[in-house]
């Protein structure tokens, strides 16, 4: 008789990094084996942007169970919500938070309500929320307005907030910094990341600091945050009422973790800058067409930012840059198909196919 061995390896981020997280043996762990995403060495990018003797690693968060880094925070937020006796959770979302919330809620029988801004959510994310069984409410407004509504509802009812204002989200998300240190043997000199609601840059900085303090890494990286030019409140120094960008995941005019982003920037000696939609689009195509890594437009903002800084000779030789690619390119099929790609029709005839491929 064959007996199947129980998988005993520590797999989800809570199990792997429990000593760094606010969990106890009583916390019910709701996990989809999130995290443990690959750190991929960029082969073509450094030379393309004129970087000699600098290594760029792509932390591909698109390979999380729902296709974005949001799963790291959601496993924590949902586990803690359950521990506190929650029956329902709620979030405002540009898409990925709702997909992740819906998945983790479905796994443990919680009700899930998501508020998304009308017209500015990528199709892949919306269909995930539906398929995981969430109630999807479309707000005729933008993300910032949806978040205000969610804040009011969750503070006046027993529905649990799972936006990154919930500190458990940030706790879970910091595990990505731990993984990078574990993979590289130390923190990188620089860490580039897109900034929307600014929870993730806050989380990474917290993670790098905690790991160093615990003696698990030696140095701290400079945090390099990038917003889209049409929705760059932190760069401009004031909220943006009508944020615009093709990178819908960072189309946010009044980031909830604004202060956390400034702290990460200033304590680390880094910077937060803006990149245009054209620069984002270039980076989006380059990493897919030349590195074989298909990430969504918001993720590409970080690559665009690295290119921009490289052109200013910002990076010291002999250093390492980690770049968070926050979500999968499959999330946004409309953007992916917005280029002039051509299908080449042919009859099933050998000679005709050979002619097309020049063989």
Q: How far, CA to CA in Å, does 210 sit from each of 15, 171, 181, 331?
A: 17, 11, 11, 32
Two structure tokens written together for 324: 């968070």
Burial of residue 191 (number of CB atoms within 10 Å: 0-12, 13-18, 19+): buried
Coil/strand/helix, residue 218: coil
Q: Give the angle 66-72-76 at the CA atoms, nearest 5°.
A: 115
Member of 196, 221, 233, 270 binding ligand PLP (CB under 6 A) = 196
Cβ neighbors of 78 (< 8 A, separation 6 or more) are 30, 89, 101, 104, 105, 107, 108, 110, 162
Interaction between residue 195 and ligand PLP (CB under 6 A):
yes
Member of 250, 280, 310, 323 binding ligand PLP (CB under 6 A) = 250
Interaction between residue 161 and ligand PLP (CB under 6 A):
no
Query: Is the distance from CB of 164 to CB of 257 less than 8 angstroms?
Result: yes
Minimum distance of ligand PLP from residue 198's CB (angstroms):
5
Residues 326-345, one symbol each (x = binds ligand PLP by CB under 6 A, - = not), give: xx------------------
Q: Which is nearer to ligand PLP, 192 or 195 (CB)?
A: 195
Residues 293-332, one symbol each (x = binds ligand PLP by CB under 6 A, - = not), give: ---x-xx--------------------------xx-----
Q: How far apart are CA 333 and CA 336, in angstroms?
A: 5
Interaction between residue 198 and ligand PLP (CB under 6 A):
yes
Please give the residues from 200 up to 219 whose contact with ligand PLP meets the rule CB under 6 A: 200
Helix axes of 96-108 and 70-83: crossing angle, nearest 10 degrees? 40
Q: Which is nearer to ligand PLP, 188 or 329 (CB)?
A: 329
Minimum distance of ligand PLP from residue 162's CB (angstroms):
13
Candidate ranges 18-26, 108-116, 193-201, 332-340; the one touching ligand PLP (CB under 6 A) = 193-201
Q: Which is nearer to ligand PLP, 101 or 250 (CB)?
A: 250
Interaction between residue 164 and ligand PLP (CB under 6 A):
yes
User: Is the four-CA dihedral 135, 139, 142, 146 of positive or negative sign?
Assistant: negative
Q: Which is nearer to ligand PLP, 70 or 209 (CB)?
A: 70
Candidate ranges 33-41, 102-110, 198-206, 283-291; the one touching ligand PLP (CB under 6 A) = 198-206
Please give the residues from 71 up to 110 whose contact with ligand PLP meets the rule CB under 6 A: 96
For residue 190, the cross-strand partners are: 222, 321
Q: Which is nearer to ligand PLP, 68 or 166 (CB)?
A: 68
Interaction between residue 199 and ligand PLP (CB under 6 A):
yes
Q: How many residues bind ligand PLP (CB under 6 A)?
A: 18
Cβ neighbors of 137 (< 8 A, separation 6 or more) are 113, 114, 115, 116
Q: How far, CA to CA in Å, does 24 sit from each of 27, 33, 135, 188?
A: 5, 19, 31, 31
Cβ neighbors of 178 (< 8 A, separation 6 or more) are 17, 20, 207, 211, 216
Please give the residues from 261 up to 300 whose contact with ligand PLP meets the rule CB under 6 A: 296, 298-299
Minimum distance of ligand PLP from residue 187's CB (angstroms):
19
Q: Which is nearer to ligand PLP, 51 or 272 (CB)?
A: 272
Interaction between residue 68 and ligand PLP (CB under 6 A):
yes
Interface with ligand PLP by CB under 6 A: which residues?
Answer: 68, 70, 96, 164, 194-200, 249-250, 296, 298-299, 326-327
């Amino acid at each position: 008789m064959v007996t199947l061995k129980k998988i005993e390896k520590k797999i989800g981020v809570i199990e792997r990094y429990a000593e760094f997280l606010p969990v106890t043996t009583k916390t019910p762990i709701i996990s989809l084996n999130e995290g443990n995403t690959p750190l991929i060495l960029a082969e073509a990018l450094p030379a393309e942007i004129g970087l000699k003797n600098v290594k760029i690693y792509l932390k591909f968060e698109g390979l999380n169970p729902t296709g974005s880094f949001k799963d790291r925070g959601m496993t924590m937020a949902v586990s803690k919500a359950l521990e506190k006796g929650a029956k329902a959770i709620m979030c405002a979302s540009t898409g990925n938070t709702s997909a992740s919330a819906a998945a983790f809620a479905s796994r443990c029988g919680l009700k899930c309500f998501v508020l998304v801004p009308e017209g500015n959510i990528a199709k892949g994310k919306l269909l995930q929320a539906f398929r995981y069984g969430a109630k999807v409410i479309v707000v005729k407004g933008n993300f910032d307005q949806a978040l205000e509504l969610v804040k009011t509802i969750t503070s006046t009812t027993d529905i649990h907030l799972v936006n990154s204002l919930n500190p458990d989200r940030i706790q879970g998300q910091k595990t990505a910094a731990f993984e990078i240190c574990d993979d590289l043997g130390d923190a990188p000199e620089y860490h580039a990341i897109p900034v929307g609601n600014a929870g993730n840059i806050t989380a990474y900085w917290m993670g790098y600091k905690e790991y160093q303090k615990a003696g698990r890494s030696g140095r701290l990286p400079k945090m390099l945050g990038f917003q889209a030019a049409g929705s760059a409140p932190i760069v401009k120094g004031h909220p943006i009422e009508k944020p615009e960008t093709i990178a819908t995941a960072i189309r946010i005019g009044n980031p909830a973790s604004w202060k956390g982003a400034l702290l990460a920037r200033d304590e680390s000696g880094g910077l937060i800058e803006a990149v245009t939609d054209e620069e984002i689009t270039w980076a989006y195509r380059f990493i897919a067409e030349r590195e074989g890594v298909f990430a969504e437009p918001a993720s590409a903002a970080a690559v665009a930012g690295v290119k921009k800084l490289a052109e200013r000779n910002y990076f010291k030789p002999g250093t390492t840059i980690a770049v968070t690619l926050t979500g999968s390119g499959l999330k946004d099929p409309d953007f992916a198909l917005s280029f002039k790609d051509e299908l080449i029709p042919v009859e099933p005839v050998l000679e005709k196919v050979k002619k097309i491929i020049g063989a």
